Amino acid sequence: MHFRALLVPDKSKLQHKTFGQTHDEWYYKMYFTMLKQIFSPSENYHIYLDIKDTRGGEKTTRLHDVLCTNIYDFSKDIIQRVQVIRSHDVEQIQLADLLIGAISYINRDLNTSLSKLKVIERIKERTGYTLRYSTLLKEEKFNLLRWEASEDTL
């Protein structure tokens, strides 16, 4: 099992109108940006996304198609499944939610919850990362991609 998260430090800098997109479209572009680098042709992947909205099924199908096309996996042998699920039904997604919450908390410079700070310290101790910057792309277990909005992006 691998964990990869995309960190967007300041969403207020997003310029959806400038780039002709909705926030929802940007969200799926970020899934693509986060995932496109991790695939190996000798592996098979099942990707599970926490359900976001009622139209998630068709957007997830589109994401699957775009990811596969990007790596020339037209038969979908490598990326076998991209599926939305309810996080409360799957423990691995609950764990991902916990890790994402910790990353978000520290990057918002919050410090009012001692229990959250203890979880953050434990993650930092175990990973060796500050949780504020991108890790090396090849980091296998705990991989972060810090994405900054700018006029030249998306």
| Predicted structure pTM score | 0.86
Range of the domain at 119: 90-154
The DSSP-derived string for 83-137 is: EEE-GGG-HHHHHHHHHHHHHHHHHTT----HHHHHHHHHHHHHH---SSSPPPT
Same-domain check for residues 21 and 74 = yes
Residue 2 inside a domain? The answer is no
How many domains does the chain divide into?
Answer: 2
Same-domain check for residues 57 and 32 = yes
Average pLDDT of the chain to the nearest whole number? 92
Same-domain check for residues 44 and 106 = no
Residue 6 inside a domain? The answer is no
pLDDT at 151: 57
The residue-averaged pLDDT of 85-112 equals 94
pLDDT at 12: 87
Cβ neighbours of residue 86 under 8 Å, at least 6 residues apart? 50, 51
